Homo-oligomer: A and B are copies of this chain.
Amino acid sequence: MSTEQTRESVGVVEVQRVDIALPEGGLRLESGGVLPELTVAYETYGELSPERDNVIFICHALTGDAHVAGWHESEGNAPGWWDDMVGPGKGIDTRYYHVICANILGGCKGTTGPSSVNPETGKSYGSAFPAFTVGDVVDVHCLLLKHLGIERLAAVIGGSFGGMQALEWTVRYPDMIAHCISVASATSLSAQALSFDVISRNAILSDPDWQDGDYYETGRMPSTGLAQARQIGHITYLSSEIMTNKFGREKRSNDTVDTLAGHAVFRSDFQVESYLQYQGEKFLQRFDANSYLHITRTLDEYDLESGFESLDEALERVKAKVLVVALSSDWLFPARQSVELANGLLRAGKQVSYCLLEAPHGHDAFLVHIEHLTEVLRAFLPWVTPSPTAPQAKPRALSGRAVPGRSDYDVFVRESKCLAEMVQPNSRVLDLGCGDGHLLEFLKETRSASGMGVDIDLESVIRVIDSGIDIFQEDIDEGLGMIPDGSYDFAVLNETIQVVRRPRFVVREMLRVAREAIVTFPNFGKWNLRLQLALRGRMPKNRALPFEWYDTPNIHLFTLRDFIDLCDQDNIRIAEKVCIPHGRVSELLVGFGQCNLGADRVVVRVARS
């Protein structure tokens, strides 16, 4: 699933700091607090186009910072936190895009935060640092962009807490954002994730060295508390599976149970304990306890819908095309929260695609295991005028597109034409089991149709996104609950009804979400199939049903008459029916109106009676 492209590093980079000019009286925050001064630290990669239309803004997560890609000459060779994703030839390709990332308000990596010097006292803010919201974080970054003369973003992208900021951008500044990507995120934190944050903060607050936040002058940090907080966080970033694979129950040494008393007896020798200890200590070197308190508080308090009547009302404001990506083993921001977000966008009638990446590594996978994520992002990001030195053709998301997944291409085209003729021009079409999206593209070209696909297969999903069409990665058998009533003109089930578990339910759902449904299927009543069973006593096969009985995906066989009867029974009207013959006899039979005997495949348009 990888593309043959040279991936390079952006090389040596520098963090830049800018003092933002504030209005008289300083920056008023949503909490009512005021900051007299504001510095923002940021990095950029790739050239800004003359039209300034190729800017991608990356929102960093809880403990991230502006240093996304490349390395700082001064600080050894540690690459930025998303170096695998950002660079020439990478998922976010700096040959095309001008990428910006800035440290967030309240952070400790250059943007004004609790450890910054309060100009009113000449000392660190400490306990005097005001509470702030995700809205404030985004406002500060918006001030930075204005300062840089950037009016509009080709895309805003964020994972985890960064995804929340990206969503806030699309609601707060809808006119500035063309595309938004939310990875492993949510519109608000779950109760479980909240709980872990509460306990993490308590670990810091109960550390005697915290000193109510004014520890900067004491020479001591609340290290014990901050390390404990980080350790709790770290467990939630990994899946149980990956922890088992990585550490299992291995011990550092072969010490047997001994009679040590006091402290030592309670130190286990499990590798996972030293790993956590290491993570805690490493964190102390790069993070500030007050920043951790403030940012987790801001994260906990965030709810995209606050200030609105409902999530749907908030999402009404979105003008960007949105991509929502969930990770399979993420339990901190579980996939169901991404699904809720994507469903909300659908209800609000927005352009949204959703996919679930298989990533066994848990929440952190978006940072480290990014093979599929790279493809998805590349497919979704808008094409922009490349710089003179970059390739002039958009690199495709996947190396070559599959031919239509049918055994007979002619039949596919013929059937698609039949189907297309049933679709009124400029209709909105939902294609269930859309595969690589060929039919939707065909309908777009021939009928100016717009619409969305649904498919369970990730490669198909990436290809459909790459062709600019919205898609939901979903198992049709699980229902179309995410799609509002009557939101499409046509729902299409092309050569798919025979592979679903609950065909009757799926057809009903189609007529809930669309005015009409178009169903195509192989006809088990065709003459030669009947003869094969009757005379040979074997499960029949033909062009339309090419599989052996024991490995066929076609788990519900039926004839055209069977389908018509089901429609009668369910008060469904057959508005149009095209029988596609194959072979001379078949053509003759269909010609004589003997559709159930002659049709190889059938295309039926139905509506509620």
Interface residues, chain A, with chain B CB atoms under 8 Å away: 30-33, 127-131, 133, 188-192, 194-196, 198-199, 201-203, 205-206, 208, 212-213, 224, 228, 231-232, 235, 238, 240, 243-244, 246-249, 257-263, 265-266, 268, 270, 272-273, 276, 293, 297, 300-301, 303, 331, 334, 502-504, 524-525, 529-531, 533-534, 536-539, 548-552, 555-562, 565-566, 596-597
Contacts and interface: CB of A to CB of B under 8 A. Distances in A.
A195 B276 contact: yes
A257 B133 contact: yes
A544 to B, nearest CB: 15
How many copies of this chain are found per oligomer?
A: 2
A75 B228 CA distance: 37
B297 A265 contact: yes
Contacts of A300: 268, 270
B228 A206 contact: yes
A536 B560 CA distance: 11
A361 to B, nearest CB: 13
Instruction: Tell me which of A202, A331, A557, A565 has the highest count of chain B C-beta atoms within 10 A of its own C-beta.
Output: A202
| A-B pairs, 3 with minimum CB distance | A555-B555, A191-B243, A525-B537
A262 B244 CA distance: 39
Contacts of A334: 240
A257 B301 contact: yes
B266 A201 contact: yes
A249 B303 contact: yes
21 contacts: A129-B261, A130-B261, A190-B240, A192-B235, A194-B273, A195-B272, A199-B231, A202-B231, A205-B266, A265-B297, A502-B550, A524-B539, A525-B533, A525-B537, A530-B537, A531-B534, A538-B561, A549-B556, A550-B558, A552-B556, A557-B557
Contact of A244 (B190, B232, B258): B190
Given A263-B205, A266-B297, A297-B265, A192 B232 contact: no
A235 B558 contact: no
Contacts of A552: 556
Given A32-B259, A128-B261, A190-B244, A199 B212 contact: no
A272 B504 contact: no
Contacts of A534: 530-531, 533-534
Given A32-B259, A231-B199, A240-B331, A272 B194 contact: yes
Chain A binding surface SS class:
helix
Contacts of A560: 537
Contact of A273 (B198, B565, B566): B198
Given A257-B30, A259-B31, A195 B549 contact: no
Nearest to A256: B31
A281 to B, nearest CB: 13
Contacts of A235: 192, 195-196, 199
A133 to B, nearest CB: 7
Contacts of A259: 31-33, 130-131
A303 B251 CA distance: 13
A131 B213 CA distance: 39
Contact of A208 (B198, B208, B228, B558): B208
A273 B525 CA distance: 63
Contact of A272 (B188, B198, B260, B561): B198
Given A203-B228, A243-B190, A566-B550, A297 B268 contact: yes
A502 B191 contact: no
Instruction: Tell me which of A192, A247, A560 has the highest count of chain B C-beta atoms within 10 A of its own C-beta.
Output: A192
Given A240-B334, A258-B32, A537-B561, A265 B131 contact: yes
A203 to B, nearest CB: 7
Contacts of A247: 191
Nearest to A503: B550
Contact of A533 (B248, B301, B533): B533
A539 B559 CA distance: 7
Given A533-B530, A549-B556, A562-B539, A260 B192 contact: no
Given A31-B257, A260-B131, A276-B195, A537 B597 contact: yes
B537 A549 contact: no
Nearest to A303: B249
B190 A202 contact: no
Contacts of A559: 533, 537-539
A268 B188 CA distance: 15
Contacts of A597: 537
Contacts of A297: 265-266, 268
Contacts of A263: 205, 212
A562 B533 contact: no
A239 B158 CA distance: 27
A330 B562 CA distance: 44
B537 A257 contact: no
Nearest to A251: B301
Nearest to A362: B192
Contact of A262 (B30, B213, B536): B213
A208 to B, nearest CB: 7
Given A31-B259, A195-B231, A198-B231, 5 more contacts: A194-B270, A198-B268, A198-B273, A537-B561, A538-B561
B198 A276 contact: yes
A564 B437 CA distance: 40
A153 B503 CA distance: 53
A566 B552 CA distance: 14
Contacts of A232: 199, 232
B249 A191 contact: yes
B538 A549 contact: no
Contacts of A246: 191
